[in-house]
Structure 1
Amino acid sequence: MTNYSILDLSPIVEGSTATISLKNSLTLAQHAEQIGYKRYWVAEHHNMPGVASAATSVVIGHIAGGTNSIRVGAGGIMLPNHSPLVVAEHFGTLETLYPNRIDLGLGRAPGTDGNTARALRRILSNNEQFPEDILELQGYLEDKTSSVKAIRAVPGEGTKVPLWILGSSLYGAQLAAHLGLPFAFASHFSPDALAQAVQVYRENFKPSKQLAQPYLMFSVNVFAADSNEEAEFIRTSHLQGFANVTSGRPSLLPRPVKDIKTVLDSATFARVNHSLRCGATGGLEKVTDELSQLIKTYQPNELIINSPIYKHEDRLRSYSIAAEAITNINQA
């Protein structure tokens, strides 16, 4: 059986506000809880006008407080931006408030540009300390040892919040395997190394206190609607938004357009389409077929679905169709 989850950047759409985006994220999480989604992750990005989840641990508290059973977490926290102690305290507090529901995915990139990284008061070379920072963080979340620790995370100590390694390259796969942690691959924007990363992770996995067997999740872009044509239409918002980000001019999530080639030149369209190709777009039958092929090829334990869609109602509908598609695949 393949579990299914949601990745949400709480997109701020053209003509709207962060207030509405954060309310919509909670509504989506409540909807997801009712239709079988396993977890709901929000991601850390900074200096991005179209992303409302910069204060990731705060947003997680907002989502967890408005839901009852779905796991809520970070996909992820960009660890070079933070002190491991502060992360342990934040997520230890969340786990204390919402027991057995919090996940902590960790990324190695800053999730922003160089100037913004400096504004975060972190040294840009700190991503070289990523493995050491993970071990330090893990230590703060472990049980109190017989010898008194010099520094303790309170709350945090003894919560054992599950850690995940996030990655879009072989580095993350190797590190997750070495540490015996679950691995989430960012194929929703960087799918080129997916096959090799899956192989590296599974072949090199070492069991740990947290995890006895490898656990693989990868992200997919899903744009599902009642017709293939409508699905292609709602997908154009993400195509435009991703083109803007990768061109160095991040924007609010644009309105969809009938013909994407009227707003993106052929070279940009081809580049964006290549980066965003891991996923499914269409009605229920087409989405089922496309997700089934991905599941058959990579055999993940879980898919995490990214669906930045302009209209909130269309987004809710897309996630409903995606849930139905994966349920059908599991039953088959």
Structure 2
Amino acid sequence: MPPFRISLLSLGKAGPSQLIEEAILADQLNFHRFWVTEHHSNLADSCLPVLIAAIAGKTQRVRVGSGGILLNLHNPLLIAEAFATLEELYPNRIDLGICRGGLDPETSAVLLDGKKITNPVEYYADRVRVLLAAANSGQLGGLAKGGVLPGAWVLGQGVNSMRLAASLGLAYSHSLFHAGAIDDPQVIREYHLLLKSHFPENPVHASIAVAGICAETDSAANLLLDQHTNDFIIPTVVGSQRSCLEQLTEIYEQYQIEEIHFLDLCQGMKDKTESMTLISELPLFNE
């Protein structure tokens, strides 16, 4: 089995300071990417461009990005400008991950200024196209002065986002840890076929996102897992270093992808540090 890349995804539940501490550790352990999520539950998952700038400024080489921007809740031009600015400040180190997602009705209503979205799937696809058009036209807002959008990823858990990514020539990251996610390698196979039919010259960038905990022993990992209470996030890789290696290898062999994003579910920084370190030491790790 050839080696592949492992990247990290963080929910930022402990606040901005620990989020930056996680990113610095990810940089030191040679993880390929460090992505932060948008959920508006605290200051570490709300204003992603600010957080990404802070993380990129505190790290040396790890790619930093959004995992992802809830594009239905934002102006596409402002997002394009923000990430083009980040790319200008930190060349070749920024990723723009976008997703449809959703929040509680009250927060969504405020972010949308009371606007009602009747068809979120179609609305999202239009927002992605507007974002790309703004970046490619070179005539709108700050992008008229030569801004360049960083590499864009579509994040999803089903076929709609996968097909959208392929139709637009974008990279795709498929989650296995969201409740209700499709766990079927055919999703990635279809992405490859569709992408090559639309953009035969484009390189294929696809990843799988998993969630879990790595500890010294299986029992220690399961004990830490007892602290996980989010029913929307399903643990998919849990156990000792050897057990996690077996589980990640199985996912790689099933999906034939080049990269896995790992969402560490440890609650405290001490346990998270151990888990991240053990994952980074796996023999399949490539950087």
What TM-score, normalized to structure 1?
0.78
Pairing 1:250-265 to 2, within 5 Å after superposition: none
Residue 114 of structure 1 is matched in structure 2 by 105
Query: 1:214-235 deviations in whole A, cap 9, x for unaligned?
Result: 2111111130111111111111
Distance 2:143 2:170 in 1: 24
Match of 2:252 among 285, 292, 295: 295
Query: Alpha carbons of 1:43 and 1:291: their partners in 2 closer, same or farther (altered >3 Å)?
Result: same
Partner secondary structure for residue 205 of structure 1 = helix
Q: How far has the Cα of 1:58 moved from its partner?
A: 1.2
- Check conservation: 2:212, 2:235, Cα contact below 8 A: no
Query: Alpha carbons of 1:318 and 1:52: their partners in 2 closer, same or farther (altered >3 Å)?
Result: same
Residue 138 of structure 1 is matched in structure 2 by 132
- Check conservation: 1:93, 1:156, Cα contact below 8 A: no
Instruction: Give the letter aligned to residue 207 of structure 2.
Output: M
Distance 2:4 2:22 in 1: 21
Cα RMSD of the aligned pairs, angstroms, is 2.3
Instruction: Give the letter aligned to residue 182 of structure 1.
Output: A
Match of 2:219 among 224, 229, 232: 229
What TM-score, normalized to structure 2?
0.89
| 2:276 is the counterpart of 1:324 | no
Match of 2:33 among 33, 39, 56: 39
Aligned-pair identity in percent equals 27
Query: Alpha carbons of 1:198 and 1:306: their partners in 2 closer, same or farther (altered >3 Å)?
Result: same
Q: How far has the Cα of 1:117 moved from its partner?
A: 0.7
Query: Alpha carbons of 1:210 and 1:119: their partners in 2 closer, same or farther (altered >3 Å)?
Result: farther
- Check conservation: 1:105, 1:163, Cα contact below 8 A: yes
Residue 285 of structure 1 is matched in structure 2 by 242
- Check conservation: 2:69, 2:98, Cα contact below 8 A: yes
Query: Alpha carbons of 1:114 and 1:210: their partners in 2 closer, same or farther (altered >3 Å)?
Result: farther
Distance 2:130 2:11 in 1: 27
| 2:159 is the counterpart of 1:170 | yes
Q: How far has the Cα of 1:29 moved from its partner?
A: 1.2
Instruction: Give the letter aligned to residue 290 of structure 1.
Output: Q
Q: How far has the Cα of 1:66 moved from its partner?
A: 0.4
Residue 2 of structure 1 is matched in structure 2 by 4
Query: Alpha carbons of 1:140 and 1:176: their partners in 2 closer, same or farther (altered >3 Å)?
Result: same
Instruction: Give the letter aligned to residue 119 of structure 1.
Output: V
Distance 1:143 1:4 in 2: 34
Instruction: Give the letter aligned to residue 213 of structure 1.
Output: P
Query: Alpha carbons of 1:192 and 1:140: their partners in 2 closer, same or farther (altered >3 Å)?
Result: closer
| 2:243 is the counterpart of 1:306 | no
Residue 97 of structure 2 is matched in structure 1 by 105
Query: Alpha carbons of 1:6 and 1:210: their partners in 2 closer, same or farther (altered >3 Å)?
Result: farther
- Check conservation: 1:72, 1:103, Cα contact below 8 A: yes
Partner secondary structure for residue 203 of structure 2 = coil
Partner secondary structure for residue 29 of structure 1 = helix
| 2:171 is the counterpart of 1:182 | yes
Q: How many residues align?
A: 280
Find the structure with the greater CA-based Rg.
1
Partner secondary structure for residue 237 of structure 1 = coil
Pairing 1:202-281 to 2, within 5 Å after superposition: 202-206=192-196, 212-238=202-228, 240=229, 242-243=230-231, 276-278=234-236, 280-281=237-238
Pairing 1:10-159 to 2, within 5 Å after superposition: 10-12=12-14, 21-46=15-40, 48=41, 52-110=44-102, 112-121=103-112, 123-125=115-117, 127=120, 128-142=122-136, 144=138, 149=139, 151-154=140-143, 157-159=146-148
Q: Which runs of 5+ in 2 are unaligned?
A: none
